[in-house]
């Protein structure tokens, strides 16, 4: 695993912060595997239909079993955990930015319309 310092330098060289770099890497992995999953899915559909001549009900049962196996794949859970870590990191960065420059922070919306009145005054 790359050291924290090297990752930070790599992110800065790309004009990103560490969370943005991590998000880009995660999206790249997801897209690459999505492409291969599409290839495998289409090839399996072709084989089940054209070569094996399975009935639609049987093909559906096979696809449900395959979908169940995918759900148990640890990569999806890993991606979910990594996404939560990235979101947490981005929230910390945003909080730090708001704390150092209050003008950047979002205005809190008021239910009574007072915020709109104050903006219009």
Q: Note the pLDDT tens digit of each residue in 77-117.
A: 788 888 888 888 888 888 888 888 766 555 544 444 444 44
Q: Is the pTM of this model over 0.85?
A: no
Percentage of the chain beyond pLDDT 70 is 82
Predicted pLDDT at 110? 41
Alpha helices in the chain (DSSP H): 4-13, 18-46, 56-71, 74-100, 114-120
Cα separation, 82 vs 70, in Å, equals: 18
Q: Which residues contact 76 (CB under 8 A, 6 or more apart)?
A: 70
Q: Tell me if residue 119 falls in helix, strand or coil.
A: helix
The dihedral region occupied by 29, where left means phi > 0, alpha psi between -120 and 50, and beta the remainder, is: alpha
């Amino acid at each position: 695993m790359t050291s924290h310092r090297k990752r930070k330098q790599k992110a800065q060289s790309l004009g990103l912060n560490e969370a943005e770099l991590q998000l880009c890497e995660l999206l790249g992995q997801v897209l690459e595997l999505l492409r291969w999953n599409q290839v495998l899915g289409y090839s399996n559909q072709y084989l089940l239909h054209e070569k094996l001549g399975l009935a639609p009900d049987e093909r559906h049962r096979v696809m449900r079993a395959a979908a169940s196996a995918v759900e148990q794949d640890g990569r999806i859970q890993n991606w979910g955990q990594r996404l939560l870590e990235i979101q947490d990191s981005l929230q910390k960065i945003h909080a730090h930015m708001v704390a150092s420059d209050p003008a950047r922070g979002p205005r809190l919306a008021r239910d009574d319309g007072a915020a709109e009145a104050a903006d219009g005054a």
